[in-house]
Amino acid sequence: LATLASETENIARTKIVELSKELSGEPGLFGSWLDLASYRKLVGDNIGAEEIWRFMTKQWPDNETSYINLGNFYHYQMRDFAQSEIAFRKVISMKATSIPAYIGLYELYSLSYTEKASLADDILLEGLKNNPKNILLLSTLAEYYTEQGNIASAKKYYQDALDVAMQSNDTKLQDQLKQRIANM
């Protein structure tokens, strides 16, 4: 775990005090709650950050941000993979177009949750079903298949990503995708 520079920690602790004071007078400020949770996490107050995100899911149950933060927090900080999966799945059930939720679950399955590693491509395919022209999902799936040695599938999804990039006139992205296909 990296140590926080004392100057950065002092700034963060000052912001915690300021935001707490602000929220005591105006508790309906979503962005301030989000900032407060981030500063608490930054200074190592994981319990405080989690409590705020959980509060936010109750206060703003239709907003995906708190659930995504919880999903990442449970995955990377707490290593509670089941809770991480629940948080990301909640987002998808609320908003099937949430790309960060699919990527979060993909990272969870492919990097950490070894019992469910076989679901890594399934979650990306589910994401593509709901977001068929998303370049991030397409290229992430292509990268996954490349790592798995499934070159035919990798080429297919890189080509699909390239087709979408061609429609957006993003020449830099097109060149990157062409290069990846050529290198296979």
Which of 2, 33, 1 is CA-nearest to residue 19? 33
Name the average pLDDT for the chain: 96
Please write the tens of the pLDDT for every residue from 2-49: 577 899 999 999 999 999 999 999 999 999 999 999 999 999 999 999
Q: Which long-range contacts (CB under 8 A, 24 or more apart) does 1-7 make?
A: 4/42, 4/43, 4/44
Give pLDDT, residue 3. 73
pLDDT digit string (tens) for 104-160?
999 999 999 999 999 999 999 999 999 999 999 999 999 999 999 999 999 999 999
Maximum separation of any 2 CA atoms in the chain, in Å: 59
